[in-house]
Chains A and B, each alone.
Chain A
Amino acid sequence: GAVVSQHPSWVICKSGTSVKIECRSLDFQATTMFWYRQFPKQSLMLMATSNEGSKATYEQGVEKDKFLINHASLTLSTLTVTSAHPEDSSFYICSARDNPIGYGYTFGSGTRLTVV
């Protein structure tokens, strides 16, 4: 089946630094990838939709300059949290549409970001 690899699974960084999270589709080409943020004991909040070769579409209220998304190839999308602050600490999850016609979404295993 379709597999999405997300890396790293956890990261601790100092306040003010930037962190990059990678999301790779291993056995399929993903023209569309999605980035979510999840707060403890809450549902997933869609941050942005990225399409290969074009700019990401951000949801209302998500800072484009803080959460940089790049989808340079059909198998890789990255989320960079710039100038991270403790309030950016969260669980970030990516997903990829594994079928351009159907309705299949495969999720990565998530990244726990802690900003100290």
Chain B
Amino acid sequence: AQSVTQLDSQVPVFEEAPVELRCNYSSSVSVYLFWYVQYPNQGLQLLLKYLSGSTLVKGINGFEAEFNKSQTSFHLRKPSVHISDTAEYFCAAQGAQKLVFGQGTRLTINP
């Protein structure tokens, strides 16, 4: 069965520092991967997705992610974070007709 693991439940970083949020998936078939951001009391907003093609995917708000098939990973990165990036981030994979979510990573930006 499809599963998604986010290795860090919380990631604190200083403003303007780089950040990486880790995500690993398990799958033996074609993989479609997503990163979503959730601000307090709101729904999910798509940051980026990997369906095929280039393994480096660029998304909104300066985020990017790299699909690594050999390591079954899809880590999210941003070279310089802002206070406004404080939110919950979810990695997800397309399963059988539905999305499978990771546990989420709370990104906290300290000034």
Interface residues of A (CB under 8 A from B): 4, 6, 9, 32, 34, 41-44, 46, 49, 91, 93, 95, 102-103, 105-110, 112
Contact = CB atoms under 8 A, between A and B. Distances in A.
A93 B43 contact: yes
Interface of B: 32, 34, 36, 41-46, 49, 51, 90, 94, 97-99, 101-104, 106
A43 B90 contact: yes
A107 B43 contact: yes
A84 B13 CA distance: 41
A109 B101 contact: no
B47 to A, nearest CB: 12
B24 to A, nearest CB: 15
Given A103-B51, A103-B94, A44 B101 contact: yes
